[in-house]
Chains A and B, each alone.
Chain A
Amino acid sequence: MSAILPAFPIRLEKRTDRTPRWVQAATPVGAFLFAFVIVTVILLAGGHNPLQSYNAMLQASVTSTSAISQTLVSATPLLLTGLAAAVAFRMGIWNIGGEGQLYVGAICASGVALAIGAHGIGLALPAMILAAMVGGALWAAIPGLLRAYLNANEILTSLMLNYTAGLLLDWLINDSNSYWRDTSGASAYLVAHGKTIPGSADWPAIGGGNFSVPFGFLVGLVVAALLFVLVRHTWLGYQLRVTADNPGVGRYAGMASKRNFVIVMLLSGAIAAIAGASQVGDFTHILDPTGLQSPQYGYTGIVVAALGRYNPLAVVISALLLGAITNAGINVQSATFPQSLTGVIEGIILFCVLGSEIFSRYRVRVGAEKATVTA
């Protein structure tokens, strides 16, 4: 028995039979509707015309090919960090180190791009992605191994590593004469900045005219598909699914749960790192500490993953959704959709979806508790 609020006559009772199909389908829809209502109320309270705001948002993000392209720009890092978080969280592994793994990915990718980028995109692109994945995987291995073998809480350790990676980033560009830093030119020490990667290492955008898809987004789609196949259609994914929900069963079946734990962390770190590589290759073409750290893609990715219920295909949708909202916040320059609405809307949607999940595990009962029967 549990009360919704202390001493309130509504209770939540754990479901013992399977969740009815209609509940499973209705809850996210209901959640979105509920969120929609709340957002409209907040807009009204802020003196905005909700219709204008929604219209502005749609215009900026989906109603034209250039708008969609802009949305994809915002959605790309979220897709990758979202997938990274989804694969870990689905397995009950609370990897919040996506932020730091992204930074490490950016560092590795830009380093490789600076070194061999002049040899052409055919070499630079895969090399950047690979280097990023290795770096991200190694960075994620630390909390992974510490948890698997020393039982150290992975939330805390991965959080600490985020700060450390951020400081590493700062140091490379702001406080050292590293390979990444541009020390030539008069402005080099006035405003620290990194070396621009060779133009031939810039990642191509696919598409024509007003419509272009960042390469990183395509990579994200491929990763989503691969993850889906991995989890549902490979025996490794099978083992991960079993040990995630039932560690006792995993032991009984001889599955190596510690090793599997680390594998998932490595995978998660590698994917988050691709987001960093994409930031460098697709968009900034330079290692930019501020630009990488302020949007907090890693943390937002966790929210994206949660919205998509940790299912790789659904994560694509939620990344697009959040990308659209973020993009509207950035690109609508008028008062009808101030950038501050981005976080408000995203937060409300997430809270509603998160809160609605309880209905699939519990049902609502009004009144006093009946005595339970156990012999």
Chain B
Amino acid sequence: MNHGLAIQLIATGIFYGTPMAIAALGELLAERSGVLNLGVEGMMLMGAVVAFWVSRDVSGPNGLVLIIAVLAGAAAAAAISLIHAFMTITLRANQVVSGLALTIFAGATGLSSYVGDLANLGGNPGRHIMNAINVFGLKNVPILGPIIFNQPALVYISWMIAFAIYWYVNKTRQGLHLRAVGENPEAADAMGVSVVRYRYAHVLMGGALAGVGGSFYTLVISSEWTDGITSGAGWIALALVILAFWRPAGVLAGAYLFGVVSALGANLSARGVQLPPEVFSALPYVLTIVVLAIVSSGWGRGRFGAPAALGVPYARDGG
């Protein structure tokens, strides 16, 4: 395999991995506050369809329309996530069931398609697309050029988001409170941190980011809408959060790994290489199971592992 192909693979990996990375970063926030949201796929689709709709029906310069479209997608997905937040935080419903209901409600045979039908979005080409930017004019620099300096704006935004989340979680008071809420909400409550507020806020942020990730499919990868266009990216985003052990840098790395591996897989089998692409794809999942097993029972439990209160509804009266 020559350099050119490898470079192209990495660049492609970053490109295709970005929507999952963004959605996963959002889910990371929600899960660190202790709320599991399995509805990522549904939220991404809502973001995708609404972003596309806005991009088709709003007139203006390309850049401005795209910004508004992405924001609209984020808002739509956040609104959807509000349902999950209300169900699980206020009404103390089971988080697994509520998240799955969200996926069904908003997903490929749900609200996102309904909106697509209503606005007659399917099958018609869009009017705006986000192309790759030539950053600092460096797109032809060897090796790093195509990988780093020639990606669409959302890729760079995703890096900024990842860094912002890292900084937020580890270096701010609010991030400290967030971690406490996700690990031991009783203790956080005792220290005056509002568990309810933090959880609502972070579930909504998770929704918004899922919407941004979804919009990548209808504004960047292609400029069209089909039902279920994200084809499982939301599920991969869920896996990414776990694979990355709830750390933003890990999410990016994992997402790009996925992107590279899927591109690689197609490439390898076309070249007659014996190792099936599914083995590569399955490896991260299997590895995660192994690591989860080790970490949950032994020494790693202290440092790694899921936020301790993940999936458990919080009630001050112990109910």
Contact = CB atoms under 8 A, between A and B. Distances in A.
A163 B285 contact: yes
Interface stretch (B99-107, B127-135, B151-159): B99-107
A205 B239 CA distance: 39
A360 to B, nearest CB: 12
Contact of B289 (A161, A170, A306): A161
B114 A347 contact: no
Given A302-B96, A343-B111, A362 B319 contact: yes
Contact of B107 (A2, A5, A159, A343): A343
Interface stretch (A65-73, A144-152, A230-238): A144-152
A64 interface: no
A354 B88 CA distance: 10
Interface of B is mostly: helix
A322 to B, nearest CB: 9
Interface string B174-210: 0000000000000000000010110010000000000
Given A344-B105, A344-B111, A14 B96 contact: no
Interface string B212-253: 000000000000000100000001101100100000000000
A296 B41 CA distance: 12
A209 to B, nearest CB: 30
Interface stretch (B19-27, B66-74, B276-284): B276-284
A290 B103 CA distance: 19
A355 B278 contact: no
Contact of A355 (B93, B106, B227, B281): B93
| Chain B, interface residues (CB within 8 Å), range | 35 or more
Contact of A341 (B114, B116, B238): B114
Interface of A is mostly: helix
B311 interface: yes
Interface in B274-319: 276-279, 281-282, 285-286, 288-289, 292-293, 295-297, 306, 310-311, 315-317, 319
Interface of A: 1-6, 12-14, 46-47, 89, 94, 96, 142, 146, 149-153, 155-157, 159-161, 163-164, 167-168, 170-171, 175-176, 296, 299-300, 302-303, 306, 329, 338-344, 346-348, 350-351, 354-355, 357-358, 361-362
Interface of B: 36, 38, 83, 86-87, 90-94, 96-98, 100-114, 116-118, 194, 196-197, 200, 227, 235-236, 238-239, 242, 269, 276-279, 281-282, 285-286, 288-289, 292-293, 295-297, 306, 310-311, 315-317, 319
